[in-house]
Amino acid sequence: MRKWRSAAATAAWVAVGTAAGALGAWQLAGADGGAGATHSRPLDEAAVREALAKASDSATRSGAGVTGGTRTPPPRRPSGTASREPAGKPSRSPEPAPEPRPARTQAPERSTVRFTGGTATVECRTGGTVFLVSWSPADGFHIDDDVTRGPAAVARLEAEPGDDDEQDDLRYEIRCAADGPRARVVADTDDD
């Protein structure tokens, strides 16, 4: 009798384990839309912009994100009031003008500016202002902590050579021109 109980308990555990494994595999297969074992890849900057543009366009078409979507009906005149319009034409009260949709603001374009002391990723924003997103020194240089990042008409940074006694520091001003950001060396006014 003990053999039968032990065999039945073992069979029950095997059945429960098999069912749990099958259920887990079924859930896993359905988790990615039924596409099987696809692996996700990180998106590059262009793919992110494309996905954001698609999401923004679909939200605009569906009316999502647009404020003031409900309109109140125009007020009705009492039935006994006179109309200034000639007889035969129905009197119509003016409808309120539709609310303007918020303008889609375009993200500022990012550009990489290269200079002797390194590189900087820059955004040229509205009004000709510049913003330093990030910067990286070239080999043999480091960027001083005193960075004017913006947004401003001019962003500033200083690239210092590794052997500070041999070479002068390179001070840069970065501005946004009509054809994109430009970096230029400016005179170092520090006497140290």
pTM of this structure: 0.42
The pair of structure tokens assigned to 126 is 């509205």
Cβ-based neighbours of 172, under 8 Å, separated by 6 or more: 115, 117, 156, 157, 158, 159, 183, 184, 185, 186
User: pLDDT, tens digit, for every residue of 106-137?
Assistant: 667 788 888 888 888 888 888 888 888 888 88
CA–CA dist 12, 160 (Å, integer): 73
The pair of structure tokens assigned to 60 is 């605009």
DSSP category for residue 142: E
From first to last of the 192 residues of the chain, give the pLDDT tens digit: 778 888 888 999 899 889 888 877 777 666 555 444 444 567 677 877 887 777 766 655 544 443 333 333 444 555 544 444 455 555 555 566 666 555 555 667 788 888 888 888 888 888 888 888 888 888 888 888 888 888 888 998 888 888 766 777 888 888 888 888 888 888 766 655
CA–CA dist 143, 57 (Å, integer): 41
